Amino acid sequence: MEARDLALFLADRLSDKKGIEITILDVQELVSYTDFFVIASGKTERQVGALAEGVMDGYRAATGRKPVGSEGIERGQWALIDFGDVVVHVFREPERAFYDLEGLWEDAPRVDYHPPENTPGQHAASLH
């Protein structure tokens, strides 16, 4: 699977769980450790954890694999999930504003992403 397709798939999983302001940054020309960042917010610590768990569960269900690694899920302020070619960052809204990854990586092109407006179970991106 192409890294861009994986980023879109993971963004859809975040959207399924009501992630806020989902942004995909193409960082493949800027860093050597991944190709895309997918960034989303949750309103509460509980929602941040649910978003992180949801994206990992969706990936596992579609691929049968686990992410490379994860951290911060228990704290619920900033969760990072490493899928190799894609790194997902899920923030509580105040932490997202404070760390401002979009500003830090302002040279990274944004991938045009619009959450699916279709019925549950039908997604803009899939791994099949």
Give this prediction's pTM. Answer: 0.90
What is the rounded distance in angstroms from the CA atom of residue 20 to the CA atom of residue 43?
A: 8
C-beta neighbour count of 47 within 10 angstroms:
20
What is the rounded distance in angstroms from the CA atom of residue 77 to the CA atom of residue 94?
A: 9
Average pLDDT value for residue range 115-123: 59
Per-residue pLDDT at 106: 96
Q: What is the pLDDT of residues 75-118, one digit of tens each?
A: 999 999 999 999 999 999 999 999 999 999 999 999 999 988 75
Check: CATH 3.40.30.10 for 3-106?
no
DSSP at 70: E
Per-residue pLDDT at 65: 95
C-beta neighbour count of 85 within 10 angstroms:
18
Helix (H) / strand (E) containing 24:
strand 20-26
What is the rounded distance in angstroms from the CA atom of residue 2 to the CA atom of residue 48?
A: 26
Per-residue pLDDT at 118: 56
